[in-house]
């Protein structure tokens, strides 16, 4: 029988989003950019270490072994935002087309059926005949 293992969170690595190479401190633990830290070894309270790992696993600037892959989530989010922007642009284009069509119909509706411009000489000439 195959045993089902619980997903255990391991070492935590901080990725510096601003590329400042400055260390940060969270929960009494200092993280250097790009260096893995084993919280179980540094923290006496193992429950607190697990809570911190769980919290950091949800932060896209931290990579926690056994935690979610934020690169995939970010990629999916960017893909979704690009699709949403494309749909928004299409809707705006349709809206503009409808507005232009409505303006054209309004011009057509206001246009008389027959030409009404008469030259003053033509009307006098018609009266003489």
Tens digit of each residue's pLDDT (9 = 90 or more) over 22-39: 998 888 889 999 899 998
Alpha carbon 41 to its chain centroid, in Å, reads 38
What pLDDT, on the 0 to 100 scale, is given for residue 106?
A: 86
Distance from C-alpha of 64 to C-alpha of 67, rounded to nearest angstrom: 5
Confidence of residue 2 (pLDDT cuts 50, 70, 90): very low
Per the document, the length of the chain is 129
Query: 30, 52 in Cβ contact below 8 A?
Result: no
């Amino acid at each position: 029988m195959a045993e089902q293992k619980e997903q255990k969170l391991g070492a935590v690595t901080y990725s510096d989003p601003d590329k400042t190479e400055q260390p940060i401190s969270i929960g009494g633990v200092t993280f250097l950019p790009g260096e893995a830290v084993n919280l179980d070894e540094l923290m006496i309270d193992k429950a607190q270490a697990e809570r911190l790992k769980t919290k950091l696993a949800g932060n896209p600037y931290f990579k926690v072994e056994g935690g979610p892959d934020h690169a995939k989530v970010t990629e999916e989010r960017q893909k979704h935002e690009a699709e949403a922007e494309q749909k928004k642009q299409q809707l705006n284009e349709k809206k503009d087309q409808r507005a232009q069509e409505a303006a054209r119909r309004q011009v057509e509706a206001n246009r008389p059926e027959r030409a009404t411009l008469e030259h003053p000489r033509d009307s006098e000439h018609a009266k003489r005949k």
